[in-house]
Amino acid sequence: MIHESSYVEDCNIGKGTKIWHFCHLFNSTIGRNCSIGQNVMIGPNVIVGDNCKIQNNVSLYSGVILEDDIFVGPSVVFTNVINPRAFIKRKSEIKKTLIKKGVSIGANATIVCGITIGEYAFVGAGAVVIRDVPSCTLVVGNPAKTIRNINEKFNMD
């Protein structure tokens, strides 16, 4: 299902995926059974795995890879260049950001490029992630810091 107000160009989209209002997707791969919320932009060379839920107002730029079963909360920000400047072309400096299976990212978090967030980690709302996050941990704050371990079901250990 692709809402009529959305623009989708040269994408490979899996069965059962729903793309809601005012989205713009181009040159990307989206898995099966995903939900792409309102006003989401998914840029070229982005990979979104199966069963991902991307909430409203999220932009996924080149270099972002979401594995399966990822939750991306409303207005999460992903960057793709460490030191962007309007007057310097830096497309050759795009850094890969890998979000591993089962991760949840809370609303308004910022994910700085070039990092990996490990399986089943949980990023709290508003966190600013500037370094790799280990699997099965909860990180919060600016900069994001680990505050405890969690299990795959996001229950506190």
Give the pLDDT mean for 107-130: 97
Residue 21 maps to a domain: yes
Summarised one tens digit per residue, pLDDT across range 54-105 is 999 999 999 999 999 999 999 999 998 887 777 888 877 789 999 999 999 9
What are residue 92's phi and psi, to 5 degrees? -75, -5
Tell me the residue range of the domain where 53 lies. 7-82+90-149
Residue 156 maps to a domain: no
Residue 138 maps to a domain: yes
* pLDDT of 116 above 50: yes
The model's confidence at residue 125, banded by pLDDT at 50, 70 and 90, is very high
| Distance from C-alpha of 121 to C-alpha of 133, rounded to nearest angstrom | 7
Q: Based on the structure, what is the number of domains in the chain?
A: 1
Residue 155 maps to a domain: no
CATH of the domain at 14: 2.160.10.10
* pLDDT of 153 above 80: no
| Distance from C-alpha of 125 to C-alpha of 130, rounded to nearest angstrom | 15
Report pTM.
0.93
Residue that wins the pLDDT comparison between 94 and 122: 122
Q: What is the pLDDT of residue 85?
A: 78
Residue 53 maps to a domain: yes
* pLDDT of 157 above 80: no
Summarised one tens digit per residue, pLDDT across range 27-59 is 999 999 999 999 999 999 999 999 999 999 999
Residues 6+ apart with CB under 8 A from 48: 28, 29, 30, 31, 34, 42, 54, 60, 66, 70
Residue 154 maps to a domain: no
